[in-house]
Each structure stands twice: as C-alpha cells, then as structure tokens.
Amino acid sequence: MIPVQEVQQSLDVEAIVDRARAVWRTALDRASTARVELFAKAALRYRVTRDLDGISATFDRVLESGLAMRALRPGHDRAGFAASSGLSAEVARWAVDTACTYRAQAPASEPGPSDSVAAERWDLDAAVSLPGEETLTTALIARPYLEWIEAGTTVEVLIGAEGWLAARRRHRLWALGGGSGATLVAQRGLAGWESLLDSSWADDSFEPRAVSADLEVLVLTPDAASAVVAALVDAFHGTGPARWTKSGDGWDVVDEPARPDGLTGGSFDDAGFPAVSRVLAADGFWVGRLGGPGTFRRASFREPPTESATNLVMASGRARSIPIRATVASRCRVLRPSPELWVLELDLVDAGSGGGLERRWVRVQPRALLAACAARLGKSTVTPAGPIVPALLFEGLAGS
C-alpha cells in the first residue's frame, strides 16, 4: 500500500507543473506541422462507504492522472484532439501523434497575442490535506443516515500553444444520504465539512404536502430546481441563436465562473481565456447568452473545451413560505425528447403516504416551463449538480 503522505505529495502543484512542462516540450518537439496545447490533470480521492452490516465501513483511495492535447493549425477553426490517462512522455507522444491526424476534432479557440495573457496564472485553493481514513470513517459511522463520504483534490494545468501556463487546484467534498429519498450534497473546500454533513439533512422547510392531481402550483427544492435551471439555460441562453421568450418573474440567472463556493470554474476558462460573470436573465427579463472567450469548459480531461456554463447562480428568494396548495418535488430529472417537448420526472413529497415519494412524469413545453417560473423561495444553495439556486415556484404548468 502506498503511504498516505506519499499519495498526498503526488498532488504537489509545482511538481505537476514541472511534469506538464516537460511533457509539453516533448509534444512540441514531435509536432512538425502544428502548434500544441496541453491540458494535464491529477486527482486524489478518498471515499469511505458504509458496509452492509451498517456499523463498519470500507475505505478506498484513488489517484488518477491524464492529459489532453489540441493540435492547432493557422487558418483552421478546428483543432485535432486526443486524450489519454497518464502523464508520461510515451503518453504525450501518442497523444500528439493522434491529435495531429485530425480525426477527432475540437474547437480551435485560444487566446491570441492581443489578449495579453500572463506568462503564469495560478488559481489555487489553499494547500490542505484531505481528511484521512480514520477521520472519514468516524464521521460516517457517527451518522447512520449517510451511505458514503468522499473528499478529493484536483490539480489542472493548462499550457497554451504559445507556452503560457495556467494552474488550478480545487478541494471538494461529497456525501450521500440513504433511504427512499437518497440525497447527495457537495461543497467546495474542506472547511467545516462535518457541519455540512449535519446541516444538510436538518432542513424542515419542505415538509410533506398533499400531492395535487394537476400540479398547478409546484415547488422544486434546490436540488430539484438545479436540473431545470441547467436545462433552461442551455435552451434559452446557450451557444445557439438568441431565443428570447417570455420568462416568469422568478427567472434570474448569472453565470459566475469565479464564484468562491462554486464547484467548477475559476479565474480562467479551460482554453485559457479570462473568465468573467455573465448576466443571463434579471427579474424575468432575458439579458444574454453563453458563448465565446471565457466560457470554454471541459467536463473531463478526456473531452475538448466547449462553450458551456460553469456556476449558474440565482439570487435567494424574497418569499420564505411555501403556498399551502403547493406540491413539493425533492428531485427532478429533465428528459428532452425534442426541442419543443420535455418531460419532467418528479419525485413528489407525499404527505398522504407518510412523507414518502410519489414519482410522476409531466409533459411540458420549454417555453411554458420558463414562463411558469413565478418566484424564488428561501436561500440559494450549492447543489451537487453545480447550480447555486434556491427553491423555485412554478405556477400554471397544468395543461402546458
């Protein structure tokens, strides 16, 4: 078994940067007709999972690394792309050779000389060690409502085709609560992580209600609302043509890449452009859309950077109480069989079944869903899916 201290040291940012620079030079020497961009990632995760007996736990440690290459040619708006696990010179040679075949392509957007990118940029969470096996195990066993806890550190290094460097380090913690309404929680950073485990299941703001037949008034908890917010932003504020349409009064969204508590993003995007906040909607009015420099993001090192949201943020709601006739959904999955027809898969909190869940599927037009977003309720919360949102109140979905 690898000693814990040695595993932790493998996430040393300066060591990873030095390795990435050496690998980039190897790729640069090998590419004869292209300029080369390198994206390297190293991650360490500790997870403790409750055993079937309920009183013991299993600890797992995962250390992974990988790199991706974009091969860029003058006058082309598409770049060759390749990615592989590992940070060795052999991996770099394979990746650059594969990228230079241009069989797999990616956007070729990158900062140019006129963008005045600094030679080095550092966006680092504070240097801290992950909680160890004993600490995580004790925290899990002391909370019988939890199934697992995972803590992780990720280091990402981007070296542009011109040789500039941008490095990012993030710490995150996740936990899953069991039972019929399994709940996932997450936070950026490790400070106060045990408080997160205690507070996230203590919220009684969304007590069970009688499930109405027509869902005329529907409240989505923050976790449920996050999926709807992400889908509506993609549809009406995404990279395609502007799709202005009538919005409900509750629709108010900003993309904040540098949000301190955001699970993703940072001061630069994954193509190296400076990242800035973008107002997408304000008090029910369409303002803008995502796209262009500052919005390039990689869902994984194995994927090229594409224009997308980072941390979607909605302001906390003015209203505090849930209408008495509202039905509450604790989970929502958005199915999109066509651009003009979506299906919401809802887990409704049902007082008639002793607080259990009733699953229901609701057909809705995206425009009607956006127009039905009537209000925001309570405090905005970092959801495990990424959006930072309060509960959302939808009115008039019946028959939409």
Shared-domain flag, residues 188 and 304: no
SS3 287: coil
Shared-domain flag, residues 134 and 247: no
Strand pairing class (296-297; 183-188): unpaired
| Residue 175 counted as domain residue | yes
Q: Per-residue pLDDT tens, the chain, 400 aa: give them.
A: 444 444 455 689 999 999 999 999 999 999 888 999 999 999 999 999 999 998 899 999 999 999 999 999 988 999 999 999 999 999 999 999 999 999 999 999 999 877 788 999 999 999 999 999 999 999 999 999 999 999 999 999 999 999 999 999 999 999 998 766 678 999 999 999 999 998 765 555 666 555 666 788 999 999 999 999 999 999 999 987 666 778 999 999 999 999 999 999 999 999 999 999 999 999 899 999 999 999 999 999 999 999 999 999 999 998 767 888 888 999 999 999 999 999 999 999 876 555 577 899 999 999 999 999 999 999 999 999 999 999 999 998 865 4
Domain total of the chain: 2
Phi, psi of 141 (to 5 degrees): -65, -30
Closest CA to 110 of 305, 311, 309, 310: 305
CATH number assigned to the domain comprising residue 54 = 3.30.2290.10
Distance, CA of 388 to CA of 286 (rounded, Å)? 19
| Residue 205 counted as domain residue | no
Q: Give the residue carrying structure tokens 């490095």.
A: 167
| Residue 135 counted as domain residue | yes
| Residue 241 counted as domain residue | yes
Of 199, 234, 259, which residue is a domain's last? 199
Strand pairing class (356-364; 341-350): antiparallel
pLDDT recorded at residue 1: 41
Residue 105's domain comprises 4-199
| Residue 210 counted as domain residue | no
Strand pairing class (165-177; 120-124): parallel
Shared-domain flag, residues 379 and 239: yes
Shared-domain flag, residues 230 and 334: yes
Distance, CA of 25 to CA of 67 (rounded, Å)? 14
**Quick one: DSSP state of residue 270?**
T
Shared-domain flag, residues 258 and 286: yes
pLDDT recorded at residue 8: 53
Distance, CA of 236 to CA of 291 (rounded, Å)? 12
Of 165, 199, 233, which residue is a domain's last? 199
CA atoms within 13 A on the CB side of 253: 32
Residue 378: what residue type? G
Shared-domain flag, residues 27 and 160: yes
Shared-domain flag, residues 180 and 239: no
| Residue 132 counted as domain residue | yes
In angstroms, the Cα distances linking 258 to 63, 123, 171, 268, 368 are 26, 10, 15, 8, 31
Of 137, 167, 199, which residue is a domain's last? 199
Among left, alpha and beta (phi > 0; psi -120 to 50; other), residue 284 is: left
Shared-domain flag, residues 174 and 252: no
Helix crossing, 89-99 with 13-30: angle to 10°?
50
Shared-domain flag, residues 187 and 229: no
Shared-domain flag, residues 272 and 134: no
pLDDT recorded at residue 396: 87
Distance, CA of 259 to CA of 265 (rounded, Å)? 8
Cβ neighbour number for residue 201 with a 10 Å cutoff: 15
Shared-domain flag, residues 12 and 107: yes
pLDDT recorded at residue 4: 45
